[in-house]
Amino acid sequence: MNIKNKKLDLNEFMQIRENVLLDWPTGKEVNLEEAFVFQKSLPAHLSFSSLLADAKKNQYILIQPRAGVAALDKHIELLQYLQDVGTADCLPSTIDSYTRHKRFQEAQQGLEESIVEGRSLLNGFPAVNHGVSGCRRLIQSVKVPVQVRHGTPDARLLAEITLAGGFTSFEGGGISYNIPYSKNISLEQTIRDWMYVDRLIGLYEEQGISINREPFGPLTGTLVPPSISHAVAIVESLLAAEQGVKDITVGYGQCGNLIQDVAAIRTLESLTQSYLEEHGYTDMKITTVMHQWMGGFPQDEAKAYGVISWGAATAAFAGATKVIVKSPHEAMGIPTMAANAQGLMTTKQVVSMLKDQRMPLTQELKAEMSIIEQETRSIVDKLFELGEGDIAVGTIRGFEAGVIDIPFAPSKFNKGLILPARDNVGAIRFLEVGNLPFSDEIKAFHAQKLQERAAYENRSVDFQMVIDDVYAIGKGKLIGRGSKGEQQ
Amino acid sequence: MSHTIVLGVIGADVHAVGNKILHYAYTQAGFFVVNLGVMVSQEEFVQAAIESEAKAIVVSSLYGHGEIDCRGLREKCIEAGLENIKLYAGGNLVVGKTPFKEVEEKFIAMGFDRVYPPGTDPKTSVDDINKDLASL
The string of pLDDT tens digits covering residues B3-50 is 999 999 999 898 999 999 999 999 999 999 999 999 999 999 999 999
B119 with A331: Cβ contact below 8 A: yes
pLDDT band with cut points at 50, 70 and 90 for residue B94: confident
Q: Considering CB atoms only, which of A121, A183, A220 is closest to B95?
A: A121
Q: Which of A306, A336, A353 is the last residue of a domain?
A: A353
A334 with B24: Cβ contact below 8 A: no
Nearest-angstrom CA–CA distance, A226 and A367: 14
- Interchain CB contacts (distance < 8 Å): A and B: 92
Nearest-angstrom CA–CA distance, A141 and A36: 20
Give the helix ranges, DSSP H, for A4-155: 10-20, 32-41, 48-58, 72-84, 97-100, 104-117, 127-139
What pLDDT is stored for residue A482 in this prediction? 73
Contacts of A119 (CB under 8 A, 6+ apart): B95, B96
The predicted-structure confidence for A255-275, as pLDDT tens digits, reads as follows 999 999 999 999 999 999 999
Examine the predicted complex and report whether its ipTM is higher than 0.85: no
Same domain assignment for residues A341 and A476:
no
pLDDT band with cut points at 50, 70 and 90 for residue A173: very high
CATH number of the domain located at residue range(s) B4-14+22-71+79-104+111-117 in this protein: 3.40.50.280
Q: Considering CB atoms only, which of A410, A463, A471 is closest to B14?
A: A410
Residues of A with CB under 8 A from a CB of B: 96-98, 100-101, 103, 106, 110, 119-123, 151, 180-183, 220, 222, 296, 299, 329, 331-336, 339, 408-410, 463, 467, 470-471, 474
The percent of residues in chain A predicted with pLDDT above 90, rounded, is 97
The predicted-structure confidence for A39-57, as pLDDT tens digits, reads as follows 999 999 999 999 999 999 9
Domain containing residue A469: CATH number: 3.90.970.10
Q: Considering CB atoms only, which of B19, B24, B65 is closest to A97?
A: B65
What pLDDT is stored for residue A488 in this prediction? 42
Same domain assignment for residues A156 and A233:
yes
Tell me: pLDDT of A487 over 60: no
The percent of residues in chain A predicted with pLDDT above 70, rounded, is 99
Q: Considering CB atoms only, which of B16, B24, B96 is closest to A333?
A: B96
pLDDT (average), residues A332-347? 95
Query: How deeply is A204 buried, as exposed, middle or buried, from its count of CB atoms within 10 A (0-12, 13-18, 19+)?
Result: buried
Tell me: pLDDT of A231 over 80: yes
The residue type found at A435 is N
What pLDDT is stored for residue A486 in this prediction? 54
Q: Which of A315, A337, A353 is the last residue of a domain?
A: A353
Could you list the active site residues of A? 100, 171
**What values do phi and psi take at B16, rounded to 5?**
-100, -15
Same domain assignment for residues A297 and A443:
no
Residue A360 forms part of a structural domain: no
A123 with B64: Cβ contact below 8 A: yes
CA distance A467 to chain B (A): 7
Contacts of B128 (CB under 8 A, 6+ apart): B88, B114
B63 contact A CB<8A: yes
What pLDDT is stored for residue B118 in this prediction? 87
Q: What are the extents of the domains in chain B?
A: 4-14+22-71+79-104+111-117
The predicted-structure confidence for A137-169, as pLDDT tens digits, reads as follows 999 999 999 999 999 999 999 999 999 999 999
Domain count, chain A: 2
Owning domain of residue A28: 10-353
CA A256 to chain centre: 17
What is the average pLDDT value for chain A, to the nearest integer? 96
Which helix (DSSP H) or strand (DSSP E) does residue A306 occupy? helix A301-318
Tell me: pLDDT of A483 over 70: no
Contacts of A147 (CB under 8 A, 6+ apart): A48, A64, A90, A91, A92, A93, A167, A168, A169, A170, A171, A212, A214
Residue A63 forms part of a structural domain: yes
Torsion of CA A327, A330, A333, A334, to 10 degrees: 10
Residue A161 forms part of a structural domain: yes
CA distance A405 to chain B (A): 15
Contacts of A255 (CB under 8 A, 6+ apart): A223, A224, A226, A261, A264, A426, A427, A428
Show residues of chain A in contact with B14, CB under 8 Å: 151, 180-183, 410
